[in-house]
Chain A
């Protein structure tokens, strides 16, 4: 089946530093990738939709200057959390459909970010 590879799986960083999370589609081309955040015992929250070769679309309340998304190729999207703070500690998950239309989303394994 379709595979989405995400890394790192976990990262601990100090407050004020930046962290980059990579998401790769291994066996298909992902025109669109979705980035989610999930706090403990809460539901998935869509942060942004990244489209290859164009600017990402951010959900209301998500700071685009803080969460930088780059989707430079059809197989790679990155999320950079800039100037991280403890409140950014969360589980970040990327996902992509294998094709436009009726394909389900395939999720990466997620990145557990802890900001100290």
Chain B
């Protein structure tokens, strides 16, 4: 079983809609959770960090964490074509090892 699993997609949503990206992880002791956005040909860019159960909002982005279910998600409200990218979920326990999912490809259709 992979440490971090994501649906590879592709996920397509119309402009203005909510995009929902999901991630599950296997290590119950994971403490820190991150979402990265990666445009084609570019390196990953951090967009959200979450450490406690519940929701964390930053602009159009909301990260949701449920440690009991070992599940972390990212919601993108009012999706824009510029949000089209691959979204990577990452988890760590100690900060010495980071586990990345394979990424979900999102396309926002104008």
A-side interface residues toward B, CB under 8 Å?
Answer: 32, 34, 43-44, 49, 91, 93, 95, 97, 99-110, 112
Contacts and interface: CB of A to CB of B under 8 A. Distances in A.
Contacts of B103: 43
Given A43-B100, A100-B96, A102-B95, A107 B43 contact: yes
B32 A93 contact: no
A27 B96 CA distance: 20
B90 interface: yes
B102 interface: yes
A44 B95 contact: no
B96 A44 contact: no
B51 interface: yes
Contacts of A91: 41, 43
A95 B45 CA distance: 11
Given A103-B95, A105-B34, A109-B42, A43 B102 contact: yes
